[in-house]
Structure 1
Amino acid sequence: MDSTFDRLKIGEKFFNSRLMLGTGKYQNMDAAVNSIAASECEIVTVAIRRLPTNLNNDSTSFFNHLDWTKHWLLPNTAGSQTAEEAIRMAFLGHELACQIGQEDNFFVKLEVISDPKYLLPDPIGTLKAAEFLVKKGFTVLPYINADPMLALHLEDLGCATVMPLGSPIGSGQGLNNLSNIKIIIENSNIPVIIDAGIGFPSEASKAMELGADGVLLNTAVSQSKNPERMAQAMNFAVKSGRLAYLAGPMTKKLYASPSSPMNQFSNF
């Protein structure tokens, strides 16, 4: 399948890949850079708090070893406990994007997490920050619980996507919120990106088969025994799940149906 005929649109920008990759928890810089390459992802998300304020003075950062003409930076506000902190991080994220030549990049992955134990997103803080940032011209991708009503409110505010979690960040528990995720996908008029909790390629594929528009993951790759191979597996899984969704799976039946009927062209 030629991905150019099935591109992902976020805000006013188009992407061929529907897999987004994070950059934390890798053992070394080479592992991060090679995994990003193997994943064929275009969107790379980076926690603003982990980056120096002046990238040009840090030659050891993997940030300076990626080709930013081929990748799109998605700054994230990880570590922000309040809407105000997240807003500050969003503006810093844009400044860093400018340093790599992406002056038109106002993307932000909005995370407001006040719960230090379970790392669940704060819906009130997220709404507050999203409303402010949208008005300031940011392309806001909010990370949320799998809450269908919250997703609708964020869409109404003008967010470019909604990013419901499959399960808690870094847990590898998979898609524990399937029923709510299905409702969000069904009701959404903006892309739905499944973010957090995916541990296996089969789970990434399942998310895409349900009709999700993309998958964002990190720990499943960075903490695997061979991150580069896992990144490639996730790439194949997302593509496979998307193709299956577009193909339109067969309808489940209560009883068996012969796969070799008397009339080979029969639908019965």
Structure 2
Amino acid sequence: MDRPIPPSITADASSTDLGRPPLRVIVLAGRGGGAGAGGSPDPLARRFGQQHKCLVPLAGRPLAAHVLQTAASHPAVESLAIAIEREAFDSLFDVLSQIPGRGIVKLVEARRNLVDSVMAAAQGWDGALLVTTADHALLTAGSIDRMIAALDRAEAVFAMAPRDAVLAVHPQDRRRFHAFADGAFAACNLYAASGPEALRAAEAFRGGGQFARRRWRVARAVGMVDLVLLWARAVTLAEAAERLSRRFALKVAPVVLDDGSQAVDVDDDDSHALAESLLLAPAPSRPGAAFTAASAPAWAG
């Protein structure tokens, strides 16, 4: 289901005008990162009386509105595709109608796993793709810029943040960091591909969102020898990416973001409180404070 946006003289400059490749941003908003409509609301959604976490209120707006506005306001973004359960389409259109931006928005029904949701959201688009999640409320335009720039040297890129940077922003973070020879990093739920053909690297994530916690899934993706090297912390992050490149027969590269807030997903009470405090902070103190008022018409058909 697509909704075209009529051109307007108030719209941001297009990506072509700025010399950037046109970009589609895919936002995964389904329950459990792509679960079917039969899934149950997660604890945060239940606490706020919502069926979908992406509609939980955050700093006066639905959670998904924050990442969607960052994407819609970015001059390189010409298309948005949101994967969510079909019964939430109307609620998402209500959110989108309040967001300034330009381009085309596409809602696709979330599939039962991440890969199929991404593939469905990528259909009909031949350009570069950026994939993130609806709970990435602190995503900044600067991070999108870094991901786009990295596609000059790689076909698929993924964002990581150093552990110290993450803990500086979120000291209560209890996640398991990914340890390499050159340090420990957190995934930022931010990925980019030069085009649909580069999405074959996403096959590593087929089966659900808890990829890094399931050893058989990691082993299948990177190979047993490489897995042993990773667990032994015998390779750097860049070296691990080179091994992934050989595994998938395409150039894969990491993008290290020094802003630890980019690794924060709003998925529990602690991260919700943290994100709200950062979003409500004065602009100069907000990590990557990105955009101001409406500079373009709303995403509505």
Instruction: Point out which structure has higher relative CO (alpha carbons under 8 A, 6+ apart).
Output: 2
Q: What TM-score does the superposition give when structure 2 sets the normalisation length?
A: 0.26
Higher share of residues assigned strand: 2
Q: What TM-score does the superposition give when structure 1 sets the normalisation length?
A: 0.28
